């Protein structure tokens, strides 16, 4: 039992578990809260979409259809493992299910048979729809199975739940078959193993430098043509060191060298140290923006 995660916390939990997440349109405010309460939350429910194609499946789950208004889940898990968030709050994914199953989820014990439909599941479960035809023939790529595992584990980890808080739609509502193609006990085993170890966060790419790194003194040769030269010239003009009759432009010229020499002198260099050929220290202090 728990207060539902905020949109920001849900997004962070999924990404912290190593998932690629796409925020679809206005997912943060797309819900059915006007039809009933959202929470307290008790678990995660896994479904299949009975559709093919990522874009159309995401749109369907975002909008719903004439018989069942959207959103139809919180996240759509594509074949490539990408999670597309389509709703936050109460969503039309679980319907009525068995109160005995709900009690088992709350206490995280073995599930009883689902032989009643007397309890509102939309209030209490996060829902993930995995793109699959549900015919028993449509394959489940490992990337998609891994994403189901990670998405369920992410929510469980955020709430302090075990894998026993994850169920399939077929374990909740009589007559349902989803997800078809893999066993929920098997999936819970994967989720449990994941929860026993730290999240596998992908390496973060270092941010691109905001300034051009020093290209080396040899870069500044007669005839050099580069947008870096133009960017450098603009910075020299901004520093009051421009010695250009026209420009600056992309071709390294005597005007560029005279301007850079003025910059070196401004920094306190003299003699051969102010020859107009950039060095790393003076270049780094000029802070030429990326081009």
Say what the pLDDT of residue 1 is: 59
Say what the pLDDT of residue 199 is: 80
For the chain (length 291 residues), average pLDDT per consecutive 10?
A: 93 96 97 97 98 97 96 98 98 98 98 98 98 97 98 98 98 98 98 91 72 95 94 97 94 96 97 96 96 85
SS3 of the chain: CECCCCHHHHHHHHHHCCCCEEECCCHHHCCCHHHCCCCCECEEEEEECCCCCHHHHHHHHHHEECCEECCCCCEEECCCCCEEECCCCCCCCCCEECHHHHHHHHHCCCCCCCCCCCEECCCCEEEEEECCCCCCCCCCCHHHHHHHHHHHHHHHHHHCCCHHHEEEHHHCCCCCCCCCCCCHHHHHHHHHHHHCCCCCCCCCCCCCCCECCCCCHHHCCCCCECHHHHHHHHHHHHCCCCCCCCCCCCECCHHHHHHHHHHHHHCCCCHHHHCCCCCHHHHHHHCCECC
Say what the pLDDT of residue 202 is: 63
Say what the pLDDT of residue 247 is: 87
The model carries a pTM of 0.71
């Amino acid at each position: 039992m728990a207060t539902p995660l905020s949109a920001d916390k849900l997004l962070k939990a999924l990404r912290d578990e190593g998932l690629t997440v796409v925020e679809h349109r206005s997912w943060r405010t797309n819900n059915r809260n006007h039809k009933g309460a959202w929470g307290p939350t008790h678990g995660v429910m896994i479904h299949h979409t009975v559709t093919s194609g990522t874009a159309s499946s995401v749109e369907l789950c975002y909008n719903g259809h004439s018989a069942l208004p959207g959103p139809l889940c919180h996240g759509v898990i594509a074949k490539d493992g990408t999670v597309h968030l389509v709703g936050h709050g109460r969503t039309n994914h679980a319907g009525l299910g068995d109160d005995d199953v709900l009690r088992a989820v709350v206490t995280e014990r073995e599930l009883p048979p689902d032989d009643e439909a007397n309890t509102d599941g939309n209030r209490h479960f996060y829902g993930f729809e995995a793109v699959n035809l549900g015919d028993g023939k449509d394959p489940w790529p490992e990337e998609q199975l891994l994403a189901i595992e990670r998405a369920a584990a992410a929510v469980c980890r955020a709430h302090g739940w075990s894998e026993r808080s994850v169920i399939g739609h077929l374990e909740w509502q009589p007559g349902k078959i989803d997800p078809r193609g893999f066993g929920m006990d098997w999936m819970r085993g994967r989720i449990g193993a994941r929860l026993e170890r730290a999240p596998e966060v992908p390496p973060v790419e270092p941010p691109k430098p905001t300034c051009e790194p020093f290209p080396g003194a040899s870069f500044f040769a007669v005839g050099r043509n580069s947008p870096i030269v133009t960017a450098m010239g603009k910075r020299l003009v901004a520093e009051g060191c421009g010695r250009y009759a026209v420009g600056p432009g992309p071709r390294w010229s005597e005007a560029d060298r005279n301007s850079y020499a003025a910059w070196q002198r401004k920094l306190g260099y003299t003699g051969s140290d102010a020859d107009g050929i950039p060095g790393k220290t003076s270049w780094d202090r000029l802070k030429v923006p990326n081009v």
